[in-house]
Amino acid sequence: MARSGVAASALVAVALWASAAPIATQFTSAPWRTPLLLVFVALVLTGSLVRQWSRVATPFVQALVLAGVLTAAFGDGAALFRAVPTPATVERAGALLDDATLTIATSPPPAPGTVGVAFAFAAGLGLLALLTDTLAVTLRRPLLAVVPVVLPALVVVAVSGEPSPWPAFVVPALALVGLLLLEPSPPRRPTPTTIGSPSAGRDARTATRARRVGVTAVVTGGALLLATGGAALLPHHRHPILDHLGGGASRDLAQVGFTPAPDLLTDLRDDDPTPVLRYRTTDPTPPPLRIAVTSEYDGARWLPATAAAVPTTSPTLPYPPGLTVPAAERTLTVTETRLDPPYLAAPAPLVGGTVTGSRWGQDPVTGMLVVDRRPRHYEMTYLAVPRTTADDGGRRTPDLVDELDATTVRPEVWEAAEEATRGARTDRERAEAIEAWLRDEDRFTYSLDLPEPQSVDPIETFLHTRTGYCTHFATTMILLARAQGIPARLATGFLPGTPDGDSRVVRADDAHAWPELYLPGLGWTRFEPTPATRTGATPTGRPTARPRPSATPTSAHPTAAKASPGASTTPSTAPGTPAGSPRPADDLLGRLAAAALVALVLLAALAAPAALASARHRRRLHAASSPAEEIDEHWRRLTAALTDLGLPTVPDATVRANAATYAEDLHDEARAGLDRLVAAVEAGRYRPPVDAPTAETAEAAGRDAESVRAAALAGASRRVRWRARLWPTDAHSSAPSLPRH
């Protein structure tokens, strides 16, 4: 390999990029691609520069650059100058990793590409690239890079059970072969074989390289075979991390729930008395504490929605959209929470709050709350909205005009919707009729033990067996409401918990799911279709305060239109900021500043060797005790510079002999300067002290040395000039010592 190893490093980056490409198939988007590309470029450039100076220092400098690039891309202001890590940066990284873990653990593929997911893969693959580059290029052991290069593609095969695209293995295989071909041949040793036959040494080296290429071909070929045909031999599940929420494959057809916790049914069965939340409230009948909201149901399960919110110290909370009726303000003070970020539990709708110990924000569409770390405590102000006072006159607000895409609801749901809403005239009446129909304990039974599934459709099974838990009741009400043209979505969180002195305690088995329906005058309204044996009374309230004007609803509010029986309905995805967007639009300036800072850091790294060489030269001139020593330093600096330009110095030759070699490639004016410099060097070395050079002679020698260097630089090729400027030999080693003749 070349001394810098830039070609080999580039091959490592290309191999890992191809190997990691199949990861994107497990997510709705791949927001890590851009930061990962910056990481790869930074590692290649840094490694190729530092490796010429010190191979020992290369991985450490690369690690620092990796940290800087990741900080610039994901620090979100928690860094010095947006690129220098601080303790706040470490906390930010921890919060992002928590978000990634939660997203992957709770989301069937394709999972949302959140900011945390982007950071996790950019950092993880960046560290893998650093390891591979160190093994294959810095340590010159390309065979050790076989496993790390194909590891990302193998992981995707293992967790998905499906073949990976052939480029994920073929490209890394070709790159590994290229690394072996770039590796320098082993030194020729004076063995009897090589002494007796000069060609035998070459044959031995060729055989060694061939064996290495063969090993690489076998390993990567086996990986390719595994990727294309052996996936079925691996144990796998329908979902990489978890099966359907609710447990193993035996109950696969009966699960319909989504929750930010790993498994809602497991939480419902959990008898751990440890509090998840402890809070105080001014509400005599506190509502459930909402954590997450989703609108996407694929006919078998709910797909998680990611809050498009950037945590800040003082977020602005909009007034609940569509709410025009009077509503009383209540407060909730959480004194203890064990929820992991990014989720925060609170009633809805919120109108204000303070969080201590973390930054927080609210999604403008769903109202979901997010935090960047677990808070110490927080206080929220919410509205107790009385739905009994709403009067829509049988009409939906005129701005809700978008139609839902009817694709998933089966005829049984339409029949149930007609049965439940018979005689109802307004949306509110239809919603309350569906709620009462499902809460009828003579008709439905609440149970965590589900009967055997009757259909591949879990809601069809629920309508047939009339037995299920909260997610079945909530999902059924949502589908029945949508069949009646009412916008509806699923909320998950916790029931209000149990009293404990002046506080209330929420535990894991208080996990709960409920529907939210959009009603004119009320906005998004909570309903409780799960029977009273689990949830108590339905939501109620009384007006005690004057209403504030509702914010004008926008296209971000989910909408619905009446669909005809026989068709099926599925929720539309709420528009807004993409779930995986790592930054809002108004942070563009900060991102540009971070990118500029990274560019400056790279430029500084490029300029550092030349600056070091100049500093070393000035330091030696300052330390010189006489003009003769200054002239010697000018000569030493010139010989080092000419060595970089392909004019090496012969250590055993005299100054004049070396000068004669240099003069062959110089024009007349430069030769004259070189002659004066040689005369000054010889005078300083060989003349008696009485005739020693003066300070003026030393200054003239410096000018002559610089003119000779400039002339040699102008006559070199562009590639040689750039290398001499960016990485001078004088920056990392001394020129050969010159004997005094």
Residue 407 has pLDDT above 80, yes or no: no
Least confident interval from 11-25, 217-231, 234-248, 650-664: 234-248
Residues of the chain above pLDDT 70, percent: 69
What average pLDDT does the segment 634-658 reach? 83
Alpha helices in 134-255 (DSSP H): 146-160, 167-182, 192-196, 198-229
Question: Which tokens is 725 given?
Answer: 């400027």
Residue 683 has pLDDT above 80, yes or no: yes
Residue-level pLDDT at 142: 79
What average pLDDT does the segment 722-737 reach? 64
How many residues belong to the chain?
A: 741
What average pLDDT does the segment 676-704 reach? 86
What average pLDDT does the segment 630-649 reach? 85
Neighbouring residues of 719: CB distance < 8 A, sequence distance ≥ 6: none
* Chain segment 507-525, per-residue pLDDT in tens: 888 888 899 999 988 889 9
Residue 90 has pLDDT above 90, yes or no: no
Residue-level pLDDT at 397: 45
* Chain segment 300-311, per-residue pLDDT in tens: 778 777 777 888
Residue 250 has pLDDT above 70, yes or no: no
Residue 289 has pLDDT above 90, yes or no: yes
Residue-level pLDDT at 331: 94
- Measured between its terminal Cα atoms, the distance across the chain in Å is 39
Tracing tokens 């003769």 back to the chain, one arrives at 628
Residue-level pLDDT at 255: 43
Residue 557 has pLDDT above 50, yes or no: no
Q: Phi and psi at residue 312, in whole multiples of 5°?
A: -135, 180
Alpha helices in 349-426 (DSSP H): 411-420
Confidence of residue 728 (pLDDT cuts 50, 70, 90): confident
Which of 5-14, 316-325, 426-435, 686-695 is predicted most confidently?
Answer: 426-435
Least confident interval from 148-162, 243-257, 421-435: 243-257
Confidence of residue 582 (pLDDT cuts 50, 70, 90): very low
* Bridge partners, residue 328, by sequence: 384
* Chain segment 148-161, per-residue pLDDT in tens: 888 888 777 776 66
Least confident interval from 240-249, 391-400, 583-592, 680-689: 240-249
| Alpha-carbon gap, residue 174 to 166, rounded angstroms | 12
Residue-level pLDDT at 587: 45
* Chain segment 41-76, per-residue pLDDT in tens: 999 998 888 888 788 888 899 999 998 888 888 877
Residue 129 has pLDDT above 70, yes or no: yes
Residue-level pLDDT at 598: 58
* Chain segment 593-627, per-residue pLDDT in tens: 555 555 656 666 666 677 777 777 888 888 888 98
Domains of the chain by residue range = 6-186+196-233, 256-389+398-571, 609-731
3-state secondary structure 488-531: EEEEEEECCCEEECCEEEECHHHEEEEEEEEECEEEEEECCCCC
Distances (CA, A) of 578 to 74, 76, 77, 115, 582: 17, 18, 21, 11, 9
Residue-level pLDDT at 288: 93
* Bridge partners, residue 512, by sequence: 493
Confidence of residue 8 (pLDDT cuts 50, 70, 90): confident
